[in-house]
């Protein structure tokens, strides 16, 4: 080893796909590992709450098969962070099942590490009593009730559990929820590189060719040295430029220069970017400042059961008095729902008006509605699906048939595009924790299980 290591990220998220030729080109550079981030909280709380994977098994299997073949051919580690989208136990097991299937189909043998990220409620309640959990932003302190209500709770692991699995000889590492750069930081650390370039490389790699132009789901190669990182897309049609790499720092982060991670902060304010070629950029000057070790907690709880209906109105008279019409419909719906014996505190009505403020709600700066038609998405979230369905059905009838001043469209106020018009959405979830837990041991919350495949 000449003090440099090369790491590959196949794509932005496991299952999003990448060109096979790009992976082949990346493997020709003899990388020390290949990996891909498997998760994101971006698609909302449904996946963490329900245990379902973000991408389908077919999508994940396609990507995993190519990555496993590459790792076996070069005898290098293959590492996946935040498996299955949300990184809970069902998400991790879904990925492990696919990996075992592929290994059986292809006659592969390796040591597999599964790193678990789900957290026990009793452990967290003890941590609350020990004053080890602290809120982020304006969030209130964590309560034991919030812990009890959660459908699923994960901790976002740092690189240490991946590093432990590498040191124990695992070649394929599948991890639950973690900070996105974790697999690459671990590999670089395993080869003796310091945290600043390791974290910088990890942050670029987790979104793969988001740091390239044109942005694509494609493979990115990072070469990491003691005080620099060089990045280059595997696909010759793509380029990394100082600007494209800088722009990546803006992506989905609160600050482009300060990034808080377990155990420290990455500061890129003094970074220098130099083009090495038309497609390759060298970055130096990143800094890592150690901080007390904390793990971010993520949880989803069931918010109720939802039913929705969608309709449109093309009546100018109604559109001209939309706000008072909707207010009257909601009030009338409440009255009718009460006759079913459903108390007001057991359901919530949400109306989204497309053509008025359906996208921005109260943040919409334009108050005058100029559309000639308005789309109405009516939702009821109830304590049970039965309540949601019944309340929504009454709401739908009330939208369709309520009178309003000057009404000419006396056979119906709404155009419903579907029969049946009401759609059950089942359980709906909400993110319920925005907290960190202080710990002295980066490993203890993330048990590692080894399997010989």
Partner 1 sequence: MVKLKDIAKACKSKNAGPFELTLDVMFDNPETFDKVRRCGVITRERIAALYGVSPSDVLLTEYPPALAYKATLPRRIVSGAIGDTDIYGAQQHAPLLDLELPL
- Closest CB to partner 1 among 29 and 269? 269
* 257 interacts with partner 1 by CB under 8 A: yes
Give Cα separations from 424 to 4, 53, 301 (angstroms): 55, 20, 19
Q: Is residue 284 within the footprint of partner 1 (CB under 8 A)?
A: no
Q: Is 424 in the site for partner 1 (CB under 8 A)?
A: no
Number of residues that bind partner 1 (CB under 8 A): 43
Give the whole-angstrom CA distance, residue 209 versus residue 13.
Answer: 11
Q: Does 256 bind partner 1 (CB under 8 A)?
A: yes
Choice from 18, 184, 288, 429 touching partner 1 (CB under 8 A): 429
In terms of CB distance, is 164 or 301 closer to partner 1? 301
Q: How many CA atoms lie within 13 A of 13 on its CB side?
A: 18
CB of 154 to partner 1, least distance (A): 13
**Tokens coding 314:** 């093309």
Region of residue 406 (left: phi > 0; alpha: psi -120 to 50; beta: else): left
Where does this chain touch partner 1 (CB under 8 A) — which range of 18-26, 41-49, 112-120, 445-453? Answer: 41-49
Name which of 32 and 152 has its Cβ closer to partner 1.
152
The SS3 of residue 260 is: strand
Q: Shortest distance, CB of residue 104 to partner 1, whole angstroms?
A: 37
Decide if residue 253 touches partner 1 (CB under 8 A): yes
Residue 317: count other Cβ atoms within 10 Å of its Cβ.
15
Stretch that binds partner 1, among 107-115, 195-203, 347-355, 367-375 (CB under 8 A): 347-355
362 touches partner 1 (CB under 8 A): yes
323 interacts with partner 1 by CB under 8 A: no
Interaction residues for partner 1, span 205-234 (CB under 8 A): none
Give the binding range for partner 1 (CB under 8 A) out of 68-76, 175-183, 309-317, 352-360.
352-360
Tokens 């992976």 identify what position? 23
The site string for partner 1 over 113-142 (x = CB under 8 A, - otherwise) reads -----------------------xxxx---
Distance (Å, whole) CA 170 – CA 80: 12
Q: Which SS3 state, helix, strand or coil, does residue 97 take?
A: helix
Q: What is the 3-state secondary structure (H, E, C) of 270-316?
A: CCEEEECCCCCEEEECCEEEECCCEEEEEEEEEEEEEEEEEEEECCH
Q: Interface with partner 1 includes 428 (CB under 8 A)?
A: yes
Interface residue with partner 1, options 9, 22, 41, 55 (CB under 8 A): 41
Shortest distance in whole angstroms from residue 345 CB to partner 1: 14
What sections of 366-446 are H helices per DSSP? 385-401
Nearer to partner 1, 115 or 300 (CB): 300
- The CA-atom distances, in angstroms, between 181 and each of 30, 38, 175 are 21, 11, 12
Q: Are 228 and 283 in contact (CB under 8 A)?
A: yes
E strand intervals along 163-213? 172-175
Q: Is 252 in the site for partner 1 (CB under 8 A)?
A: yes
In the complex with partner 1, the residue whose CB is nearer, 46 or 279, is 46
d(CA 388, CA 309): 11
Residues near partner 1 (CB under 8 A) are 41-46, 136-139, 242-243, 246-247, 249-257, 271, 273, 303-304, 348, 350, 352, 358-363, 365, 381, 428-431, 434
């Amino acid at each position: 080893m000449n003090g440099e290591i090369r790491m590959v990220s196949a794509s932005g998220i496991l299952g999003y796909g990448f060109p096979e030729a790009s992976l082949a080109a990346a493997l020709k550079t003899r990388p020390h590992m290949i990996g891909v981030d498997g998760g994101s909280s971006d698609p909302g709380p449904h996946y963490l709450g329900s245990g379902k994977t973000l991408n389908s098994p077919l999508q994940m299997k396609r990507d995993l098969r190519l990555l496993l073949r590459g790792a076996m051919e070069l005898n290098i580690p293959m590492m996946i962070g935040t498996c299955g989208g949300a990184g809970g136990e069902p998400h991790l097991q879904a990925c492990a099942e696919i990996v075992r299937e592929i290994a059986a189909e292809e006659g592969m043998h390796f040591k597999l590490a599964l790193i678990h990220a789900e957290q026990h409620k009793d452990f967290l309640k003890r941590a609350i009593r020990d004053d080890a959990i602290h809120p982020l932003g304006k969030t209130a302190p964590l309560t034991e009730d919030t812990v009890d209500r959660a459908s699923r709770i994960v901790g976002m692991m740092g690189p240490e559990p991946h590093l432990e699995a590498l040191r124990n000889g695992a070649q394929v590492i599948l991890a639950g929820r973690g900070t996105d750069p974790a697999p690459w930081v671990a590999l670089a650390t395993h080869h003796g590189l310091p945290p600043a370039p390791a974290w910088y490389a990890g942050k670029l790699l987790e979104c793969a060719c988001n740091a390239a132009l044109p942005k694509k789901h494609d493979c990115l190669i990072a070469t990491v040295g003691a005080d620099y990182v060089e990045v280059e897309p595997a696909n010759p049609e793509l380029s990394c430029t100082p600007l494209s790499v800088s722009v990546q720092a803006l992506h989905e982060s609160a600050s482009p220069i300060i990034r808080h991670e377990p155990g420290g902060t990455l500061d890129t304010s003094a970074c220098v970017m130099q083009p090495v070629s038309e497609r390759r950029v060298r970055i130096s000057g990143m800094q890592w400042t150690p901080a007390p070790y904390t793990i971010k907690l993520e949880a989803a709880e069931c918010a109720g059961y939802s039913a929705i209906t969608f309709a449109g109105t093309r009546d100018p008279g109604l559109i001209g008095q939309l706000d008072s019409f909707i207010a009257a419909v909601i009030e009338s719906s409440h009255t009718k729902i009460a006759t079913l014996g459903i108390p007001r505190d057991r359901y919530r009505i949400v109306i989204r008006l497309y053509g008025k403020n359906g996208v921005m709600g109260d943040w919409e700066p334009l108050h005058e509605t100029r559309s000639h038609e308005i789309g109405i998405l009516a939702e009821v979230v109830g304590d049970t699906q039965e309540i949601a369905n019944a309340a929504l059905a009454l709401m739908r009838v009330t939208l369709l048939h309520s009178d309003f001043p000057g009404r000419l469209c006396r056979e119906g106020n709404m155009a419903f595009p579907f029969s049946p018009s009401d759609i059950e959405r089942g359980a709906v979830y909400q993110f319920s924790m925005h907290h960190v837990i202080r710990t002295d041991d980066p490993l203890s919350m993330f048990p590692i299980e080894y399997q010989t495949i």
